[in-house]
């Protein structure tokens, strides 16, 4: 299966995205210091030292996996993208309104389909962002009503979207054993619509949008970056998104890639809105978490970087 590259950490949803991004550099640092192979390392602790080191080193530095990365167009779980892709293709190829839909049937072969459609009450109106990201009926309702799924759809306000929830109530699901998973992706999927005028529309997809076999266009990738940057924890100058998109588009001719970090670093002396996910959706407001940038002259001392733990 291809790897996935998701968006920025979603406000008010889950600590998961931030945790995974922290884990990756920690794992890389740990690998250089023997954390995997040491007495208390991963392989000895969990696999009793029974592993083949040659497997992990095979092709290292020569077999590049970048072309196998899936860039997710929507901030939800990868399997749900199959059905969002099929529905998007239906919306692009047919003329109908969300109000015209009387029934939606999603068809797939993975056992994940049931867990992402049941229990029905949870998947139609999920109470938390992390639940919503794996709730196919809710996501179908969002896309039908609004044409896409965005980060803000997992905020407390987005979760209480009555129109999307009412549309999610129309979603049914069915497993088809013939929809078998191949070597890549989650396998095929289908979305069927029944409309008020009697029409029946359907779309079948083998791969989700963003998969290497069905890649996003450069314009779609740039738009995703801009939307994610809107939720940045720091205030960035106007034009930053365009600058970064232009730099990345011409990366081969960039003399020093540190210019990207410069563009995405707040100016010295600025006050940065650092958003800290609340323990519960309404526990705190963002305004209560304004943090002065560590290099601000108003600080008595710079904030030292946190120590790396567990290495």
- Helix, coil or strand: residue 211: coil
pLDDT value of position 232: 84
Cβ–Cβ contacts within 10 Å for residue 111, how many? 9
* Superfamily of 80-205 according to CATH: 2-methylcitrate dehydratase PrpD (3.30.1330.120)
Stretch 109-135: mean pLDDT: 97
Q: For residues 225 and 112, what is the distance between their CA atoms, to the nearest angstrom?
A: 29
Stretch 62-74: mean pLDDT: 89
Stretch 26-46: mean pLDDT: 75
CATH 3.30.1330.120 domain range(s) in the chain: 80-205
pLDDT grade for 11, boundaries at 50, 70 and 90: very low
Report the candidate in 238, 245, 239, 243 with the shortest Cα–Cα distance to residue 222: 245
Comparing 60 with 32, the larger pLDDT belongs to 60
pLDDT digits (tens, 9 = 90+) for 241-291: 999 999 999 999 999 999 998 888 875 444 334 333 344 343 333 333 333
Asked if the model's pLDDT at residue 32 lies above 90, the reply is no
Asked if the model's pLDDT at residue 153 lies above 50, the reply is yes
Q: Exposed, middle or buried by CB within 10 Å (0-12, 13-18, 19+), for 280?
A: exposed
Stretch 222-229: mean pLDDT: 93
Asked if the model's pLDDT at residue 8 lies above 50, the reply is no
Tokens 């940057």 sit at which residue?
Answer: 229
């Amino acid at each position: 299966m291809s790897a996935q590259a998701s968006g920025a950490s979603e406000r008010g949803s889950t600590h998961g995205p931030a945790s995974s991004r922290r884990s990756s550099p920690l794992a890389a640092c740990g690998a250089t210091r023997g954390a995997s192979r040491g007495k208390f390392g991963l392989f000895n602790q969990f696999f009793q030292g029974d592993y083949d080191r040659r497997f992990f080193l095979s092709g290292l530095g020569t077999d590049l996996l970048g072309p196998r990365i899936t860039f997710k167009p929507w901030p939800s779980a990868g399997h749900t993208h199959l059905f969002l892709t099929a529905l998007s293709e239906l919306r692009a190829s047919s003329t109908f309104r969300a109000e015209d839909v009387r029934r939606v049937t999603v068809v797939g072969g993975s056992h994940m389909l049931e867990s992402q459609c049941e229990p029905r009450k949870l998947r139609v109106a999920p109470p938390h962002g992390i639940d919503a990201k794996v709730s196919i009926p809710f996501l179908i309702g969002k896309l039908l009503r609004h044409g896409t799924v965005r980060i803000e759809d997992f905020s407390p306000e987005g979760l209480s979207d009555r129109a999307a929830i009412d549309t999610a109530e129309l979603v049914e699901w069915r497993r088809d054993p013939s929809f078998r998973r191949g070597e890549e992706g989650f396998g095929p999927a289908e979305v069927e619509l029944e409309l008020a005028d009697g029409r029946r529309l359907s779309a079948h997809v083998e791969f989700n949008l963003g998969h290497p076999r069905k890649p996003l266009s450069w314009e779609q990738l740039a738009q995703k970056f801009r939307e994610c940057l809107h939720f940045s924890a720091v205030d960035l100058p106007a034009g930053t998104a365009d600058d970064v998109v232009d730099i990345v588009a011409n990366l081969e001719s960039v003399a020093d890639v540190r210019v990207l970090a410069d563009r995405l670093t707040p100016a010295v002396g600025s006050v940065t809105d650092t958003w800290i996910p609340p323990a519960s959706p309404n526990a705190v407001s963002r305004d209560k978490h304004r943090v002065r940038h560590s290099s601000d002259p108003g600080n008595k001392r710079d904030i030292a970087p946190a120590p790396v733990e567990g290495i």
